[in-house]
Homo-oligomer: A and B are copies of this chain.
Amino acid sequence: MGEFELIARHFKRAVRAGSRRVALGIGDDCALVAPDEGMQLAVTTDMLVEGRHFLSTVAPARLGHKALAVNLSDLAACGAEPIAFTLALALPRADESFLAPFAAGLFALAEAQGVELVGGDTTAGPLNICITAFGQVPRGQALLRDGARAGDDLWVSGRLGDARLALEVFRGEVALDAADFEQVREAMERPQPRVTLGRALRGVATSAIDLSDGLVGDLGHVLAASNVGAVVDADALPRSTVLARQSLALQRQCVLAGGDDYELLFTAPASRRAAIEAAARLVGVPVTRFGQIDAAAGLHVVDRVGQPVEVSWRGFDHFAP
């Protein structure tokens, strides 16, 4: 099957009738996209490489889901409404048994989120998936990393650490029974981008970031951008019952520095607690308070009685030795 036929078969879909924001989809030199009046376009790009961002054992449908989900998670962290995305794909060969389920997983999430594939590129090469996603946000209302203020609560959505626990199982460091493994594996392979929560937090949260490299590292970006510090209660960080049955040391490593969580970390004044809890209930995503922003620089991780917890792990660095 030729390249053009391959693209057409799996990825070319008609632009939805009546789509105002996508005037032209796949099939020309460019796609044409227009945010609504008064909106800014939020843009994010992520590149996924085998062995770094996914294991060779992942089902192609889950990989298709995850490749888009990690980008939608960035849009969520800005409070943007997803509109469209482009997909560039390098494949060792035009393999139907990979492409069909990959496209199915990708489009299932795209349709659930109302986001259209508007352009792309395919080439032969070592497996590599690069998605660029576009969302819209009212001018000046995007949630950024630099808005955290002293006294703000620290919040996080969902549960942390399951993706890392799954990775430890794949590495042979931890053993889980089949049902538990499937649960944490799904967290790793099918993250759910918190798009509706992100939008609900506009005008409420003072800053937000999505958790991809681990809470300590990603919170560090917020603290640096906002020029503040924080106290974090390690034991308050939400985790699954599967993770809660592991050793405390492993739990802490997974929730503090696990990576691949794709939950939202955000800050808000204490006066907005009720508004945040109401918004979270409305969108059906649990949220948890786990600390507070300090005026003084520095990140202090403590346990439930206020004793310091040693944090030796750092954010995930793709080029660390």
Q: Which residues of A are interface residues toward B (Cβ below 8 A)?
A: 1-4, 6, 23-24, 27-35, 39-47, 49-53, 74-75, 77-78, 80, 84, 86-91, 93-94, 118-126, 128, 130, 132, 134-135, 137, 139, 142, 144-146, 208-210, 225, 315, 317-320
Q: Which of A44, A74, A139 has the most CB of B within 10 A?
A: A44
| A11 CB → nearest B CB, Å | 12
| A195 CB → nearest B CB, Å | 13
| A211 CB → nearest B CB, Å | 11
Q: Which B residues lie within 8 Å of A40 (CB)?
A: 23, 32-34
Q: Which B residues lie within 8 Å of A209 (CB)?
A: 29
Is the beta-carbon distance between A28 and B78 smaller than 8 angstroms? yes
Q: Which B residues lie within 8 Å of A47 (CB)?
A: 88-90, 121, 123, 125, 128, 130
Is the beta-carbon distance between B27 and A77 smaller than 8 angstroms? no
Cα of A42 to Cα of B23 in the assembled complex, Å: 10
Nearest CB in chain B to that of A140: its residue: B23
Given A28-B145, A30-B43, A41-B41, does the pair A2, B317 have CB atoms closer than 8 Å? yes
Q: Which B residues lie within 8 Å of A93 (CB)?
A: 319
Is the beta-carbon distance between B137 and A29 smaller than 8 angstroms? no
Q: Which of A118, A134, A139 has the most CB of B within 10 A?
A: A134
Given A2-B320, A123-B53, does the pair A142, B45 have CB atoms closer than 8 Å? no
Nearest CB in chain B to that of A128: its residue: B128
Nearest CB in chain B to that of A48: its residue: B123
Cα of A29 to Cα of B45 in the assembled complex, Å: 9
Q: Which B residues lie within 8 Å of A88 (CB)?
A: 45-47, 130, 132
| A73 CB → nearest B CB, Å | 8
Cα of A47 to Cα of B47 in the assembled complex, Å: 11
| A258 CB → nearest B CB, Å | 17
Nearest CB in chain B to that of A32: its residue: B40
Q: Which of A29, A134, A145, A146 has the most CB of B within 10 A?
A: A29
17 pairs from A and B in contact (CB 8 Å cutoff) = A2-B319, A3-B317, A6-B319, A28-B225, A29-B208, A30-B44, A30-B75, A31-B43, A33-B41, A43-B86, A43-B119, A45-B87, A47-B130, A88-B132, A123-B318, A124-B319, A132-B132
